[in-house]
Copies of this chain bind each other. A is one copy, B any other.
Amino acid sequence: MGANWGHNLRLSIFGESHGKAIGINIDGIPGGIELNMERIEKDMKRRAPGRNNFSTQRKEKDEIEILSGVYEGKTTGAPLCAIIRNEDKRSKDYSLLKEVMRPSHSDYPAYVKYHGYNDVRGGGHFSGRITAPLVFAGGIAKEILSKKGIYIGAQIKKIKNIEIESLNSLTLENFQKLAEKEMAILDDEKILEVKEEIEKVRKDQDSIGGIIECYAIGLPSGIGEPFFDSLESTIAHLAFSIPAVKGIEFGKGFDITSLYGSEANDEYCYQNGRVTCKSNNNGGILGGISTGMPVIFRVAIKPTPSISKIQKTINVKTKEECELAIEGRHDPCIVPRAVVVIEAIMALALLENLYEGRDKYE
């Protein structure tokens, strides 16, 4: 299982990399919302493959076909199902994959779990391609959040050993700038540096990973739940749904362990009559609930496991060790395309929590 997520906003995802179509059924979207398809399609393009040198050469327009839940341009309140047809499939690239397990891919555990019946073409249902419908759902969530004054942005924080400064000012304007860049980095020189690094690794038939930092501003305090449904739990649950994510941290994250409590604690004060914190080491969340400060988290994205370099592995049919050079099309670094996916899960997690019983306190 694993296709379903959410209590208040219910997602049901499906599809394989080289099947007929991928898609998502979204339940819990209220009626009467006008979908800004232009904005959503922009998001889709930020993730879509084949647009530049640092991505796979597979070309997919990732065109959304909405099957239900929208009538006369507005959501109806009924489940909204959208699909994306897979166009540029090359299934012949993947014929060996039923036997030879690609290291650090899902191939082997999926082979064991599904007794060899899983669709292996391009990783099948385990492909990063399945995040495309998530970006669509995130686009709708962003639309709804933006009407409540909640905005989401994300940037690349690190690629291999290149560190990028965090935004010095968390504003909608900066978020928009980031979204329009070729790569979610404000500093153009850093972009060049990163592109060179990726180009180098592509030529070396290798791959690299990195860190993405994600922000939400405008979220009021009091959103999130105690214990099992903490805002962090909700976000982290979604984050680890995304292939290649190996870590997540909020606020200062792992570095908070080097501080004294007196340094780490975020002291409160009043600013123009509104409660605020002098620091935000907790990333806008305390006790699983939003404080009103920006929500900030970072995720670690591992180097793309598909590399053309020769690797040692096994053949599960012959039960022998063997070598493998993964031909076909793959991203030397998935991080730039993953940025909008991370934004999507922030948006979905916040909306899920916003929809949790806000009416009850009357």
Contact = CB atoms under 8 A, between A and B. Distances in A.
A245 to B, nearest CB: 8
Contact of A357 (B30, B117, B229, B253): B30
A32 B240 CA distance: 27
A314 B275 contact: yes
A149 interface: no
B206 A262 contact: yes
10 residue pairs, one from A and one from B, having the closest CB atoms: A106-B287, A247-B249, A31-B117, A12-B12, A207-B261, A2-B225, A109-B289, A78-B125, A112-B222, A261-B303
Interface residues of A, number: 160
Interface stretch (A38-46, A164-172, A230-238): A230-238
Interface in A33-70: 65-69
A3 B16 contact: no
Contact of A30 (B67, B206, B268, B362): B362
A292 B77 CA distance: 20
Nearest to A5: B228
Contacts of A152: none
Interface in A247-291: 247-254, 256-270, 273, 275, 277-278, 281-283, 285-291
A267 B209 CA distance: 18
Contacts of A210: 257
Interface stretch (A21-29, A176-184, A185-193): A21-29
A161 B287 contact: no
Contacts of A77: 113-114, 117-118, 361
A118 B207 contact: no
Nearest to A260: B206
A313 B267 contact: yes
Given A125-B227, A269-B312, A108 B221 contact: yes
A132 interface: no
A342 interface: no
Contact of A104 (B12, B15, B66, B264): B264
Contacts of A254: 211, 246-247, 249, 254, 300
A130 interface: yes
B240 A239 contact: no
29 contacts: A2-B288, A4-B4, A13-B228, A14-B81, A20-B67, A21-B81, A71-B119, A75-B117, A76-B119, A78-B226, A101-B268, A106-B286, A112-B222, A112-B289, A112-B292, A114-B361, A158-B257, A201-B260, A206-B261, A232-B245, A234-B237, A247-B253, A249-B249, A265-B305, A267-B311, A268-B314, A270-B321, A278-B312, A355-B359
Contacts of A108: 221, 268, 275, 286, 291
Contacts of A103: 265-268, 277
A283 to B, nearest CB: 7
A285 to B, nearest CB: 8
Nearest to A276: B314
A113 B222 contact: yes
A286 to B, nearest CB: 5
A28 B357 contact: yes
B237 A233 contact: yes
Contacts of A243: 287
Given A23-B67, A78-B14, A125-B78, A8 B357 contact: yes
Nearest to A7: B7
A106 B233 contact: no
